[in-house]
Every structure is written in structure tokens, then in C-alpha cells.
Amino acid sequence: MATVNNGAFRHSLVDYDGQKRQFSFDSTIVTAANHDAQKTEHDNLVAAIADVTLGALDFEEYVADRESIRPLVKASAASAQVNIQWVVTYVDSVTTSVYNVRIPTADVTDTTLFATNSNLWDPTDAKWVTFIAAFEAHVLSPDGNAVTIQQVAYLQ
């Protein structure tokens, strides 16, 4: 297994027809000591790209520390399929806007994760309790507000 640990620069542009194209570069890991200098370099690169492209900016991201694990083997369970997903529905705690994220390779073999006779989660299951705590502690809405998980459903 190879591990890559670095920062990342992510950028997306929209063309005349409305099509988007995303690209990214590895960058220096951002620390407390180099944060301001790295942010300045990031902003300079955003400006430089704008000078040599015609597309409209869709988004740009300044990723402080990205860890990418590149396994040499595939998942061991045949049921680990990217099209078998958890759809996590969460709500912005301030605006009450609702958002979804899909998480691939849902573990559908662990029946304790499901409410009885349902494709929905059992939020009282210990694994989901841990998931809720971790998700709500780390994830922010697109508006930058805290979020609350509303539901998790299995989707295939």
C-alpha cells in the first residue's frame, strides 16, 4: 500500500456551453507555521489561472492536508460495490436547508444498521451513533454552518 500525504489545490472552470471541468494539483501540507504563505501562493495561482483561461470560475479549494491511500488490492468483500450507497441527508442548523451526500460501498451485510423491514438506518445502532457524532462534529453546510443528520438511507 502506498500512502500519499500532501496538500491539494482543486479548481473547476465552466465553459461557454455550461460544461464544467475540474482539475487539481498536489501542494505543500499546510501547517500553522506556513499557513499564511501557502494561502498567498494559492491565491496567486488562482489569479494566474484566471489570466490564462477564458472559463468562469466554478470553484477553487485550498486543501491543507490530503491523505490518499492507494491500496494495492481491491476490497475483500464482494458486496463492497460503489453503486451500493448510503444517502446521508443533513440539515443546516441555521438556514434549515437540506443537503445530501452519497457514500459508496454501504455495508448492507450488517443488518443491525437498518431499521426493521426498511432501507433506512437505525439511528440507535452504536455504529450510527458514532457516525452521527463524527459527521456533525466535522461537516459544515455550504453556508458554513453546523449540520444535523436527518436520515441515512440505503440506495442501490
Domain residue ranges of the chain, discontinuous segments joined by +: 2-70, 85-155
d(CA 156, CA 154): 7
- For the chain, list residues with pLDDT below 50: 1-2
Mind spelling out the 3-state secondary structure of the chain?
CEEEEEEEEEEEEECCCCCEEEEEEEECCCCCCCHHHHHHHHHHHHHHHHHHCCCEEEEEEEEEEEEEEECCCCCCCCCCCCCCEEEEEEEECCCCCEEEEEEECCCCCCHHHECCCCCEECCCCHHHHHHHHHHHHHCECCCCCEEEEEEEEEEC
User: How far from the centroid of its chain's Cα atoms is residue 54's Cα?
Assistant: 28
Instruction: Give which of 70, 67, 69, 71 is closest to 29, Cα–Cα.
Output: 67
Give the integer Cα–Cα distance in Å for 79 and 43.
43
d(CA 105, CA 84): 5
pLDDT at position 1: 45
Render pLDDT for 105-149 as a digit per residue (tens, 0 to 9).
899 899 999 999 999 999 999 999 998 998 888 887 888 789 999
Cell numbers found for residue 145: 454552518
What is the reported pLDDT for 116? Answer: 94
Identify the pLDDT of residue 97. 97
